[in-house]
A and B are shown apart, each in its own frame.
Chain A
Amino acid sequence: MAEIPESILRRSAAARAKAEGRPLDEILAEMGLAPEGGSAPAAAPAGEPAAAPVAEAVAPEPAAAAPAAADPGGAALEGFAAMADVGVPESLIERSTRARAKADGIALPGAAPAAPVAAGGGGGAAAAPAAAPVAAIPAGVRTQRLLTVVKANAIQQVKKEPHDKVNTWPHLVAAEFVALMVMTAFLLVFSVFVDAPLLELANFNEQPNPSKAPWYFLGLQELLSYFDPQVAGVIIPGFGIAAIAFIPYIDKNPSVRPNDRKLAIMIFTFFVMASAILTIFGSFFRGPGFNFTYPWADGIFFDF
């Protein structure tokens, strides 16, 4: 466990003092820190009510709450006792306490007979009577249990973000609003001047000549004059739509630069142009009987 810097311990003590409404020095003492002002460490009063319940239950002797002073190992061990407060099972606490003690070379009462250590040099916790291992740890620092250390790039992939961003409001919203207004104005004005067509009532007995599909199907209708209806009406549009849908899976070229995509652009443009020409042809150059006409000679046989 990383050593917690004293400054942080002090800050947490101050926060705790505020939260629990107790004097700061009392809490500092409990945590084994010098009181504010730098005087000598004060021993926690015997039977201190705030001592961890577990520690109390196992070893009620006042000696158990002996000051751990500034001993880093002792401070760390105290932390384990505090875990009991947050519901970590006692057996686990004991296990970590042992592991910790072993790693730090501190003799634990239960493991080997403790060699008495000079009280002034710290290690008071380790020298506690052999009542129980946790008994020697007074309540104090709350701490986290470190489960594992993971390298940052293993769990998060920081992709390089484009930094050139602008706020949606107002930049994008304003542009959209303008587009919306322009479109509305255009439609409104256009609708004032040009009426939607309405011919005579539908009559099943009188087919107009020519009969034309809506304009977006006129390219197909034009194809009908060259191919069998099954080809022009179903197979070509069917395969056409399927081919469009599959473009992303057919075009494996990862580049989006026009210079790298000459073939794709050529093919797509060819088909767009072809359908545009067929549509224009079917719309304006087909007259009665769907025969070829010049719109300027015979008039336009086309309605929106």
Chain B
Amino acid sequence: MANRNGDDQRVALKERIAGAADALRQSQVWTSIFRPGSPFRHGYSDSPRNRSYVIMNNVLYHLHPVKVKRHGVRLSYTLCLGGLSFFLFILLTITGIFLMFYYRPTSPAAYNDIAALATDVAFGQIVRNMHRWGAHAMVLTVFLHMARVFYHGAYKPPREFNWVIGVVLLLLTLLLSFTGYLLPWDQLALWAVTVGSNMAAYTPVFGAQVSFGLVGGVQITGDTLLRWYVLHVLFLPFIIVVFMAVHFWRVRKDGGISGPL
């Protein structure tokens, strides 16, 4: 008898929870967050209609159409390289923000802050490692992405301009990596950047000005550090995001991923 009573109570509790969940899902707050048709409103059961709704009622709709060409989904077509470049960028943003909490772009504090990541900051070293290796990986994936686009002839009309935007993205990626290279303010950073920016000084006619603007003086100093820091954490990411937005928009407007060979 007591046992049955317990069962009844459990059932009642279950019903009450279900009722509360229903009430929550019908509340104004909930329905204002999730669009009509969102699986979060009605639950998800696998049907072609729901498959479309998942994308349509999701911020992903900004990136993906509801349907894509079958061959575009095959990993062997894009090798997901563009997507990985984008994903690496996101990962670099996240790890980069973490690093910003512990970094001062002044000489010699910058160096000490980086060194302290290994000793004083929880997960500091691994986050720094991920940021560094991720940056190298991104240069690589962007380059490989360009190569795969070339070998597919995917730059041909109507995609010519997206290729040009891609070239700008490649340059911005290199610049982001290069500006970040200076920030640890160690011997590797200083002299690699010295070699790199000396090359820029050979620009015909404006060489001296280019070098001065880049370095923020006649030679690399603590001022260069601040300048490159701002470029690295604000200016270049902002620009690259704008170009990525245009890049992705064009991929869709140009008819999605290019056709199979």
Contact = CB atoms under 8 A, between A and B. Distances in A.
Interface in A240-267: 241, 244-245, 247-249, 251, 253-258, 261, 264-265
Interface string A179-218: 1100110011011101111111111101110011111110
A172 B73 contact: yes
Interface stretch (B7-15, B19-27, B145-153): B145-153
A167 interface: yes
Interface stretch (B187-195, B228-236, B241-249): B187-195
B130 interface: yes
Q: How large is the interface on A (under 10, 10 to 19, 20 to 34, 35 or more residues)?
A: 35 or more
A217 B191 CA distance: 13
A173 interface: yes
B66 A168 contact: yes
Interface string B90-103: 01000000000000
A300 to B, nearest CB: 14
B60 interface: yes
B201 to A, nearest CB: 8
Contact of B126 (A184, A191, A247): A191
B196 A241 contact: no
Interface residues of B, number: 85
Chain B: interface secondary structure? helix
A233 interface: yes
A216 B140 CA distance: 9
B202 interface: yes
A175 interface: yes
- Closest 8 interchain pairs by CB? A256-B153, A191-B129, A248-B160, A233-B199, A202-B190, A196-B132, A211-B191, A167-B51
Given A184-B91, A244-B167, A304-B133, 18 more contacts: A165-B68, A171-B73, A176-B80, A187-B91, A194-B133, A196-B133, A199-B188, A202-B108, A202-B185, A208-B188, A212-B191, A213-B199, A216-B177, A217-B195, A234-B203, A251-B156, A256-B153, A268-B150
26 contacts: A162-B259, A164-B69, A164-B71, A165-B69, A171-B73, A172-B64, A172-B68, A175-B75, A183-B91, A187-B130, A194-B129, A196-B129, A198-B188, A201-B185, A202-B111, A202-B186, A204-B220, A214-B181, A217-B178, A217-B199, A224-B199, A253-B156, A254-B156, A256-B153, A256-B156, A304-B133
